[in-house]
Amino acid sequence: MKVSRSGITALLLLALTAGCSEPDKSVSAVTGDGRLEIRLEAERNWVFPDTELPLRVVVASVNGPVADTTAATVDLIANFGSVSPSMVHAILNGPDAEGAGADSLYFRWVVFKADRSGIDSRTQGEITALMGETMTRLKIRIVDPPPDP
């Protein structure tokens, strides 16, 4: 049986793309009433074991500045690591007496710290954000640290 070079190349490309996908750097979900969006954002989608990665928790009004002050609580749950703080209280202020200055976005920085032990290069940490009935999940690849020089 003779296999062509292009056939081998196609199989290798298929194996590489199907084998593993990189986690997203940003994930989001919109509440059931369509008023608020929750986002988790990271500058990179990987971290070494026992190191920290800053994440941004964003609560945004889908329709622009809010008409009335709106509050939301976001619970954060981590797998293969910890997240601090584990709860964020977001407040989007409504307009002032003149009808100006309403908020459309709230954000807060939190820190994910990857576990130190029992981790290998196939492990992905996860941060799940729950805001009422709405959930979104950011996956973070936990990679092997570089060898000591």
| Residues 10-35: tens digit of each pLDDT | 444 444 444 456 789 999 999 999 99
Whole-angstrom Cα distance, residue 19 to residue 34?
Answer: 36
Instruction: Write down the pLDDT at residue 14.
Output: 41
> What pLDDT is recorded for position 19?
44
Amino acid at 45: N
Residue 1 reports pLDDT greater than 60: no
**For the residues 72-87, what does the mean pLDDT come to?**
97
Confidence of residue 149 (pLDDT cuts 50, 70, 90): confident
Chain centroid to CA 27: 5
Q: CA-CA distances (angstroms) from residue 15 to 10, 19, 123? A: 9, 6, 19
Query: pTM of the predicted model, to two decimals?
Result: 0.80
Q: How confident is the model at residue 52 (pLDDT cuts 50, 70, 90)?
A: very high
Q: How would residue 62 be classed by pLDDT, with cut points 50, 70 and 90?
A: very high
pLDDT digit string, tens, across residues 103-144: 999 999 999 999 886 566 667 899 999 999 999 999 999 888
Strand order in the sheet with 70-79: 46-47, 134-142, 124-131, 70-79, 87-92
